[in-house]
Amino acid sequence: MLPDAAAQGAGFGVAFEWDIPLLEGYPYQLLKNVARYPSVTHFKGCDTPSIQRVLTDAQIDAVVVNGWVVKSCLQTLHACKRLRIPCIVRGEANHLRPRPWWKRFLQRGLVRSYDAFLPIGSANRDFYKSYGIDANRMFDAPYCVENKRFERAAAEALPQRAKLREQWQIPQDAVCFLYCGKFESKKHPIELIHAFLEAHQQNPKLHLLMVGDGVLRATCEQIVNESQRPVTFAGFLNQGEIVNAYVASDCLVLPSDHGETWGLVTNEAMACSRPVIVSDQVGCAQDLIQEGVTGFVFPFGDWEALARILVRCSTKNIDLLQMGRNAHAQVQQYSPEAAAEGIVKAVNYTLGKHIPACSASK
């Protein structure tokens, strides 16, 4: 199913449709979703038992499935097993999230059911390795955004930086930190605001731009209203507008816990030549953040440490512009082209080890 505006906005607090054509240029087929309560945000919300017939009719040679987040993913795996079609997994799982022993036991069995693996980064690769997956069955397909699109849009918006800052009440001489995402508990926007308030006491020339919406926005706004500190709430910005926030700011901050299995806003900011501050529980930390070069990592929950980094970034000892250039160079390795290369290698590997489904049926 394709989510409507209301379903797409789950967690954002506003209904919306993406303002770029996500499916344009791709041949695709929609499966019938028989879930009682259709949704893309919970496991039972996608139930597509017709997947086996579709794979058979289309004579599919190999399948790439995005983890096991919804029932349809497991239905696809089981259909592939029955049809002897290689099933390749590209998910986000890592061991930054604590799990009880029995979940790890069950997960180990599930993971070992796939034929090849597409690690999106170091934490994801370590996850597969911990369950006994050999390196020769893993083919890196780094998590990525359309770097070139973000780069072009940032270059076009840069001459309007002063105007964009004025629009969001950001002083031209302020060091502006950007929060970009849902206002939800796993992303910890409230804790970020408290850390910013502490940092602002030490340097009044700091500003915080909060982009997004969600259940915690009202609480965040109340804290800011009571403190009377320079924090701007821009609301939800669609893909056609989000680059303006990166250009208007100087550094992205992603203070999430282990629920942030990667954090693609980091890729977006770096593609726009912005450094990033993340917690050590964010999945991309060990891949994208070179300490003091492309950004900074703080221990999750140590909000005083985050405040110190915010202050440090406002000093003459830190060149955020150079760090942004470094970040841009770093994220070039995390591109759709690199991901596609990994997928092709995985498919070639699995086809070399499996009898195609059409042959197996003869």
pLDDT digits (tens, 9 = 90+) for 45-81: 999 999 999 999 999 999 999 999 999 999 999 999 9
For residue 357, name the pLDDT band (cuts at 50, 70, 90): very low
Q: For residue 2, what are the CA distances in angstroms to 22, 137, 146?
A: 11, 32, 22
Phi and psi angles of residue 46, each rounded to the nearest 5 degrees, phi first: -120, 105
Residues 6+ apart with CB under 8 A from 139: 116, 117, 118, 119, 342, 343, 345, 346, 349
For residue 15, name the pLDDT band (cuts at 50, 70, 90): low
Most confident of 10-14, 98-102, 320-324: 320-324
Specify the pLDDT at position 94. Answer: 96
Residues 6+ apart with CB under 8 A from 95: 123, 126, 127, 130
pLDDT at 355 over 70: no
Specify the pLDDT at position 361. Answer: 35
For the entire predicted model, the pTM comes to 0.91
Task: Tokens for 125, please give them.
Answer: 């690769």
239 or 67: whose pLDDT is higher? 67
Specify the pLDDT at position 3. Answer: 65
Phi and psi angles of residue 42, each rounded to the nearest 5 degrees, phi first: -140, 160
For residue 20, name the pLDDT band (cuts at 50, 70, 90): confident
Average pLDDT over residues 285-305: 98
- Residues forming CATH 3.40.50.2000 domain(s) in the chain: 147-331
Residues 6+ apart with CB under 8 A from 357: 55, 56, 59, 60, 61, 83, 84, 85
Specify the pLDDT at position 21. Answer: 80
On average, the pLDDT of the chain sits at: 93
Specify the pLDDT at position 171. Answer: 97
DSSP state of 45: G
CA 73, 23, 327, 298 torsion: positive or negative?
A: negative
317 or 9: whose pLDDT is higher? 317
Measure the CA–CA gap between 168 and 166, rounded to whole angstroms: 5
Q: Which CATH homologous superfamily contains domain 147-331? A: Glycogen Phosphorylase B; (3.40.50.2000)
Measure the CA–CA gap between 85 and 79, rounded to whole angstroms: 8
Average pLDDT over residues 352-359: 54
